[in-house]
Structure 1
Amino acid sequence: MINWKMKTRGQRPIGLDIGHNSIKMIQLAINGGRISVIAADKARIEPRINGDMEERRSFIVAKIRQMLAEGSFRGKKVISALPNDRLKITSLRLAEAKSDKIGQALRKEAAQRFGLDPDRDAINYVLVGDVRQGDEVKSELILFAADNDSVKSHIELLEEAGLRPVGIDTVPCALFRSFERSLQRQEDRERTAVFIDVGSRFTTVVFGRGREISFVKQVSIGGESFDKEIAAKLGVSIDEAEMLRGKLRMERTANAERGLWGSGQTSTGQEGLADQKDDKADLETLDASTRQVMVDAISAVAEQLAREVSLCFRYYTVAFRGKRVERAVFSGGQAYEKILLNVLKRQLAVEIEVAQPLRGFDMMNLNFGNDKRGLLCEWAVAVGLGLKGWNGDAEQPEEPLAAPAAGRQADSYERN
């Protein structure tokens, strides 16, 4: 994406993840390889305002300003990601990987597939490597593109909120970056892992081998899909379905915790839940018939998502022969959905784990509010944004996108 001047040591720019139903801001500091969290905050975007783009924009601007005023964030520099629905992604293969040939192919693909103007809109790529297609060996690339108006609108929103953009990224690259730092061992660099972020409206799938991105896919299935299915089956509103799904999740968590309390244990990543034992015991439980309808509805959508992810696995294993996926790491707000994880574990037949993007970070004196779940897997994209520009111990993969119009604004940002 757009990458302007920034310091690579000490205090980092704010990482800002603006999703469909939440805003997450985090700021990191890096000294001698040690990563500390300076500040973090998040806010919910009410579903009722998502249908009115002006009201949604005003809410986001006001909430960011509030988080900056009330939080411990330092400075106004920010790195943010374009919304998933504004980003175009596809894979393509070329007989030659010469720079002039790549440029021509990208311009043609962006115009024909996405209807973009190569002279005006943002287009870039990641060169993945060689793949065999029949008897030929071709170079595979991942194309990232976005229309210039979307990039400009996003930058203007950040500036209106009082921030100073120093980088615009993509969700897939930020997601991979949040886990890339953990792939230090030689054995990790030789293994293929898939990172899957299940959000409210989209699921982002990123395959990585070592410290390089190999394949990216966005699937238009997310938490809203579960709520819509539940709403249709129960004859309730989407908001009611979301509330009921939250109640089901809390009920299952409470039941699991009660089983562990009897043996004097608490589950990994669930610190603090024991303190809420009495509160959860008093929750109004779902009736058996409602619970079963919900489980069936969630399972049906989970099966759809599992099929889409399975197709990604199939493409990867065919395109990159001999490179088998060994584990799948799940992040995003929907990664806490146990029914989904169980379906995916059964369908994908690989090791499944829920991400801990803040594991190993110094979070002393940091308060994540009412979030007691410990894993904090929904912070993966924000963490990846906060790490943009830090190379760690090795070179980063090329990060897309350079928008011509937005790039012209970079000079003013660099001088300030």
Structure 2
Amino acid sequence: MISIQRSQHSPIGLQLGPSSATLVQLAGSRQNRVVHAIAQEQFELDEKQSIEERDANIAAQIRQILSDHHFKGRHVISCLGSQELFIQNVRLPQLPVDEIAKVVAWEAEERLPYPLAEAELRHLPAGQVRQESNTKQEVILLACHTGILKRHLDLLEQAGLTAVAIDVEPSATLRCFHNSSNDVQTNATNCYLNFGDAATTVIFADQQNVLFLKYIMQGSNHLDHAVAENLDLPLKEAIRLRKIVTNSPTLDASDELHRSVIDSIRSILETISTEVENCLRYYKVTFRGKKLDQLIVTGNESSPWLIEFLSDRLSTECKMGNPFESLKCWPTSTSILERPGRWTTAMGLAMKEKSNS
């Protein structure tokens, strides 16, 4: 009898942004995970290309990344981004579990910007909330247009990848910090602020149970364009200069580059902070009795100076999220450990197992 050994390599976790790709693949058993391959690349894109040409271009660049960084196999777990999802918090009466999906579909039919028949629906139970004298069930509705989902899958196929699951970014984020060896308390309620290319995601969660979810539609791409516009630079040069400042452990007020970049992005950071403040107020009113432990910052923009800015602006303890703390051994490359939060979503995707959310 021939025994076939199960692969010790995880599927490739792929976070696909509008202009970038972040990929992580793990190796080893669940208790002894290490990073096998890891990459983050900006796409070279032509704005004049059609959607079909653009997707073919991205697929070709992903194939090159897979080859250059020695990823094993071509099974992938990807996720839908903020620009691909419709999200709505819905309050329902107390209902049996098997009836919630039906009622959520009715709610979706009234709220979706496209016909229900063209939607792929999911929902996350967010727990019980008090509304006046009544107890309601808070549910987070997630929907994706089937055309968008098909395009996403077609792009993966063009890249030579086989999708074993399509996840959502918030679930991937939480997976990195749940049941790990880091100092995030597993019995605490935390706020996760994840900076992506197109949006900043605000998640309140009790362990892996999402209580509140919101996309603030400003992210890394908006910061890059703000620098390009304010300093009258080509976008590629603006991205390069902003990366220098983002990678700096502290801001230097006497440094002309630091001053110019921060002045260019200050209004966007203030807007994001104000939106997060509103989310914090909503959480405190809606989920009374669930004390917030800390705010964990992840994603492309997570850096020591941003943590300091947010802690001061929000009057809340902020911590830089490091997804590698859940691993047996960390990567040794300095460039990888620089701003580790940028690997969070792709790491969480690679960690997904069949029995997980």
TM-score range, shorter chain: 0.7 to 0.9
Which residue in the other structure is 1:297 paired with?
264
Partner deviation per Cα, 1:231-266 (whole Å, 9 max, x = no partner): 34334444443333234445x54988xxxxxxxxxx
CA distance in structure 2 between the aligned counterparts of 1:234 and 1:385, rounded to whole angstroms: 37
**2:322 is matched with which residue: 356, 366, 371?**
356
Q: Which amino acid aligns with 1:294?
A: V
Change beyond 3 A, Cα 1:235–1:74 = closer
Once the two structures are TM-superposed, the CA of residue 291 in structure 1 deviates from its matched residue by 4.8
CA distance in structure 2 between the aligned counterparts of 1:178 and 1:319, rounded to whole angstroms: 26
Alignment of 1:201 onto 2:165: no
Alignment of 1:128 onto 2:126: yes
Once the two structures are TM-superposed, the CA of residue 42 in structure 1 deviates from its matched residue by 2.6
Change beyond 3 A, Cα 1:51–1:171 = farther
Once the two structures are TM-superposed, the CA of residue 92 in structure 1 deviates from its matched residue by 0.7
SS of structure 1 residue aligned to 2:117: coil
CA contact (8 A) 2:45 2:57 kept: no
Which residue in the other structure is 2:349 paired with?
385
Count of matched residue pairs: 353
Once the two structures are TM-superposed, the CA of residue 375 in structure 1 deviates from its matched residue by 4.2
Alignment of 1:228 onto 2:225: yes
Once the two structures are TM-superposed, the CA of residue 130 in structure 1 deviates from its matched residue by 0.8
| Larger Rg over CA atoms | 1
CA distance in structure 2 between the aligned counterparts of 1:332 and 1:297, rounded to whole angstroms: 20
Seq. identity, %: 29
Compute the RMSD of aligned alpha carbons. Answer: 3.0
CA distance in structure 2 between the aligned counterparts of 1:106 and 1:203, rounded to whole angstroms: 25
CA contact (8 A) 2:311 2:318 kept: yes
CA contact (8 A) 2:56 2:158 kept: no
SS of structure 1 residue aligned to 2:325: coil
**2:76 is matched with which residue: 71, 75, 78?**
78
TM-score, normalised by the number of residues in structure 1: 0.76
Q: Which amino acid aligns with 2:127?
A: G
Q: Which amino acid aligns with 1:385?
A: L
CA distance in structure 2 between the aligned counterparts of 1:78 and 1:225, rounded to whole angstroms: 28
CA distance in structure 2 between the aligned counterparts of 1:59 and 1:173, rounded to whole angstroms: 28
Change beyond 3 A, Cα 1:255–1:156 = closer
Stretch of structure 1 that moved more, 303-312 or 94-103: 94-103
SS of structure 2 residue aligned to 1:317: helix
Q: Which amino acid aligns with 1:341?
A: I
**1:245 is matched with which residue: 242, 245, 248?**
242
Stretch of structure 1 that moved more, 123-132 or 171-180: 171-180
Which residue in the other structure is 1:259 paired with?
none
Q: Which amino acid aligns with 1:94?
A: L
Structure 2 gap segments, 5+ residues each:
none
Alignment of 1:346 onto 2:312: yes
Q: Which amino acid aligns with 2:296?
A: V
SS of structure 1 residue aligned to 2:89: strand
Alignment of 1:190 onto 2:187: yes
Change beyond 3 A, Cα 1:152–1:321 = same
CA distance in structure 2 between the aligned counterparts of 1:291 and 1:329, rounded to whole angstroms: 24
Change beyond 3 A, Cα 1:133–1:361 = same
Change beyond 3 A, Cα 1:210–1:151 = same
Change beyond 3 A, Cα 1:196–1:78 = same
Once the two structures are TM-superposed, the CA of residue 23 in structure 1 deviates from its matched residue by 1.0
